[in-house]
Structure 1
Amino acid sequence: MQEWIILVLIVFAASLLQTSTGYGFSIIGTPFLLLIYPGHTAIQINIILSLCLSAFMIFKIGREVDKPLFIRLMKGSIPGLVIGLFIYLYLDIRVLKMIVGGLILLLTIGLIFKLTMLQSRNRDFITGGISGLLTTSIGVPGPPLLLYFSGIGKDKAVLRSTTLAYYLFVYSASLVMQISFGGTDKEAWISSLVAVPSLIAGILLGQLLFRWISPNIFRVITYVILLFTGGYLLLSAF
């Protein structure tokens, strides 16, 4: 019972952040879920709930999706999903956490000091590939998208809608691949079901907050999320 109370609080906070900013469910949820569940179970709970959140939200904001960008991200993610699956099944995840955590911190520092970049088709594909790799390996697709979209100055409404559409694809593909090759367990599905009411509550409150978040506050939240994620990944690798 205590485990489920902690789960409900984690999911509420993560879904609130996701719907109010466009990011944050996996970035916040996965690290804390790993504290109360075994690795593969925590990753699958995160993916199941993220899939539910994306499906629920996309019907409300799907018209704002940047479709050409979404298609390029989706195509780019396919090789990344395959590579990430091998990491999930066979490789030492601590090494990946260390590398990704260090890169996120370095790039976030660059963004804080106004590092910008130009959008291009190749960069769209590469971002999708890295995100796909992180989805099947550790269940966290957000950091590459967050860094890239912040660097190119994407409008926050388009950013939120496009990432949700992309998540719907990449989480579905990841879950199917993980179950097909690595299996699943009953605990992941029961815990996900228990957390659904708090997920919906976070979504509804987050939609209200989204209207009141200014671009400057949005940017600060982005940096905090990235710094937290990078620091956590580094520390959890040891």
Structure 2
Amino acid sequence: MEISAVIIIAIVVLLIGISKSAFAGALGVFAVPLLMLKFSAVEAIALMLPLLIIADVITVKGYWKKWDTPLLMTLIPGAIVGIITANLIIDLINNDYLQFVIASICIVFAIKNIVFKHIELKLINNKLGAYCMSALSGISSTLVHAGGPPLLIYFSAIGLAPSKFVATAAIFFAIMNLVKLVGFISLGLITSDLILTALAFIPMAFVGHWIGVKINNNLDKQLFLKVMNYLLLVLGFWLIIKANIDI
């Protein structure tokens, strides 16, 4: 493997580790485009999953039992429905338009929280909102590898505390990635070489997790939610730029 490819994978693993431990996976959207600098789209997507699962294991262990269990039980059914739905409609839906819709929701929500803080989003601040946003997360994660934003929007809307925010997102995505792994294996995308490559970067995942925990521990709830809102704004514009559509 070329040294440039090794460096890019190392950066991606570090980014994933920090993202999952500090920002509930919000920065993961940037990982696949980085991998695509040296790998084809299919190779990047295939490599991304075992890298994510390794980071999931480390993050879940670091935040073990700190998640909101009742909330998690509300989210999982929606996510599974979303993943199944995505697999059923994968040949029918335009991924770029779906990405554009998700990006628009991110931008509107972020602006609302940054500029119009007094307005409450009661529409999604309930169990139905949890189900709908987790289903959208499952769909967007499967189709456009952007499962984070819908979940981050919901967690921000209910004002989840930083530790539970990160821990619940960690276990949620860990479960969802294991479900996705079944599909990847059935499609022949996961090879022994791919797994060995991912395993070789475990030390970088630990470094990323350590940095992420340090960041998370030094942010109070209000600052954390402010950071998440600005991240959603950046993610929204990033997803729009990536979406190959005419506006």
Q: TM-score, normalised by structure 1?
A: 0.88
Pairwise mapping of residues 128-167 of structure 1 onto structure 2 (< 5 A)? 128-167=134-173
Offset of 1:204 from its aligned partner? 1.6
Offset of 1:171 from its aligned partner? 0.7
Gaps of 5+ in 1: none
- In 2, the alpha carbon distance for the partners of 1:47 and 1:170 equals 11
- In 1, the alpha carbon distance for the partners of 2:141 and 2:176 equals 7
CA-to-aligned-CA distance 1:168-204 (integer Å, 9 cap, x gap): 1111101212332x33054643542343221111012
Offset of 1:68 from its aligned partner? 1.3
User: What is residue 219 of structure 2 aligned with on the other side?
Assistant: 213
Pairwise mapping of residues 37-56 of structure 1 onto structure 2 (< 5 A)? 37-56=39-58
Gaps of 5+ in 2: none
Confirm or deny: 8 A CA contact 1:77 1:170 kept in the other structure: yes
Confirm or deny: 8 A CA contact 2:24 2:170 kept in the other structure: yes
Secondary structure of 1:124's match? helix
- In 1, the alpha carbon distance for the partners of 2:228 and 2:14 equals 18
User: What is residue 59 of structure 1 aligned with on the other side?
Assistant: 61
1:15 aligns with 2:11: no
Offset of 1:96 from its aligned partner? 2.1
Paired amino acid for 1:116:
E
1:183 aligns with 2:201: no
User: What is residue 97 of structure 1 aligned with on the other side?
Assistant: 99
Confirm or deny: 8 A CA contact 1:8 1:198 kept in the other structure: yes
Confirm or deny: 8 A CA contact 1:117 1:151 kept in the other structure: yes
User: What is residue 121 of structure 2 aligned with on the other side?
Assistant: 117
Paired amino acid for 1:26:
G
CA-to-aligned-CA distance 1:60-99 (integer Å, 9 cap, x gap): 3222221111011101112210122345566442222222
**Cα distance, 1:163–1:35 mapped onto 2, change above 3 Å:** same
Greater shift after overlay, 24-33 or 225-234? 24-33
- In 1, the alpha carbon distance for the partners of 2:111 and 2:35 equals 27
Confirm or deny: 8 A CA contact 1:77 1:132 kept in the other structure: yes
- In 1, the alpha carbon distance for the partners of 2:36 and 2:227 equals 23
- In 2, the alpha carbon distance for the partners of 1:37 and 1:138 equals 17
> Which of 159, 169, 175 matches 1:169?
175
Count, aligned residues = 237
Paired amino acid for 2:121:
M
**How big is the alpha-carbon RMSD for the aligned residues of Structure 1 and Structure 2?**
2.2
Greater shift after overlay, 129-138 or 25-34? 25-34
Offset of 1:129 from its aligned partner? 0.5
1:228 aligns with 2:234: yes
Q: Higher helix fraction: Structure 1 or Structure 2?
A: 1
Q: Among all aligned residue pairs of Structure 1 and Structure 2, give the percentage whose two residues are the same amino acid.
A: 22
**Cα distance, 1:229–1:45 mapped onto 2, change above 3 Å:** farther
- In 2, the alpha carbon distance for the partners of 1:93 and 1:75 equals 23
**Cα distance, 1:196–1:138 mapped onto 2, change above 3 Å:** farther
Offset of 1:11 from its aligned partner? 2.1
Q: TM-score, normalised by structure 2?
A: 0.85
User: What is residue 106 of structure 1 aligned with on the other side?
Assistant: 108
Offset of 1:125 from its aligned partner? 1.0
